[in-house]
Amino acid sequence: MIRIQGITVYFNKCVILIIFFHYNSVFKIMNVIDEFLNQIICGDSLDLMKKLPDNSVNLVVTSPPYFNCRSYGNETIGREQDPLDYVKNLLEYTNEIKRILSKQGSFYLNIGDVYFGTKGFIRNKGRFARKTDRHYKEHKITKPNGVYLQYKQLLMLPERVAIGMQEQGWILRNKIIWEKPNPVPSYSPDRRYPVYEHIFHFVKSRRYFFNLDIAKQYNHHRDVIRCGIEPFGNHQATFPEKLIEPLILSTSNENDIVLDPFSGSGTTASVALKNKRNYIGFEINEDYCRSAIDRLEKISLEKSNNPSKQISLTNNPISNKIEQPVLFIFEENPITYDNHL
């Protein structure tokens, strides 16, 4: 009997220690996260992400600079001479995102493709000319090799990045096609007009949060989404709010943390703020940082002037995440779901 009591006491102490260390780690994560929470921070996102704790972000929605498409002034990715170097560099970011994303989280990566040698379709002239042609006049790219690197070659950069991410251990759940009814003109007489981009939905675990009913409400339950482009302010390459809002609503809960490591004009942060999510935005361009901050301040002011729409952001997102009920798919009932990949 005494022996049993001793075991019981020892067991209870172990449970107490486990609970103590668990909540101690949670509080440490909260303290670090508070330094970044609901802010747009100007700097290199690869360096900034290294300051975030493991498994501390619930959702990542981003669109990094495309290869050879625009010059923003001080970018660290997208201006490589070789497209394969672009893939390699981008995979450094995705590997860091994998570390900081929670096990139940999702990562939406929007990325476009280009043709080799065109420098962002600079050959377009007349009414098909692009305003961004000025970005490529001083930029040199690697020479063709007669194999992969050939003029007129569609480089398949999104697919190469996605395959590289699978090699990192990511699980690709959807390859979403974003169809644009009003694409930027990219005319060529010997091919069809490109009118879509990829949005990859990645997760790091077989158990993750996803609400299919919400996706259906926004007609986002299929892997082809039709949505027009909407440039914002001085940033011409933003994705529309109405494109990413269903992504945020269907793969995160209120008070969750949404990260955009290439924040640009703050579209992801704006949608998160409007929908009672916490946001973190990293952006290397100071002008875009100022634009994003102004945009978010206007949203906050609008909410404060309309109490019925007031957003109440918690200072304790981690504990709220623990308290919230979570919807998982594909492992709730192995008999039902194992055959539904």
Task: Provide the residue range defining the domain that includes 246.
Answer: 33-337
* Residue 307 placed within a domain: yes
* Residue 11 placed within a domain: no
Q: What is the CATH number of the domain that holds 184?
A: 3.40.50.150
Q: Number of structural domains, the chain?
A: 1
206-232: average pLDDT? 94
pTM: 0.80
Q: Are strands 224-226 and 171-179 parallel, antiparallel or unpaired?
A: parallel
Closest CA to 251 of 105, 95, 152: 105
* Residue 51 placed within a domain: yes
* Residue 1 placed within a domain: no
* Residue 65 placed within a domain: yes
* Residue 23 placed within a domain: no
Q: What is the pLDDT of residue 6?
A: 52
* Residue 27 placed within a domain: no
Are the C-beta atoms of residues 197 and 157 closer than 8 Å to each other?
A: no
Q: Specify the higher pLDDT residue, 151 or 31.
A: 151
**Number of DSSP helices (H) and strands (E) in the chain, helices first:** 10, 8
Distance CA 241, CA 61 (A): 12
User: What are 65-89's pLDDT values in tens digits?
Assistant: 998 876 656 667 888 999 999 999 9
User: What are 143-186's pLDDT values in tens digits?
Assistant: 999 999 999 999 999 999 999 999 999 999 999 999 999 888 78
* Residue 16 placed within a domain: no
Q: Specify the higher pLDDT residue, 305 or 315.
A: 305
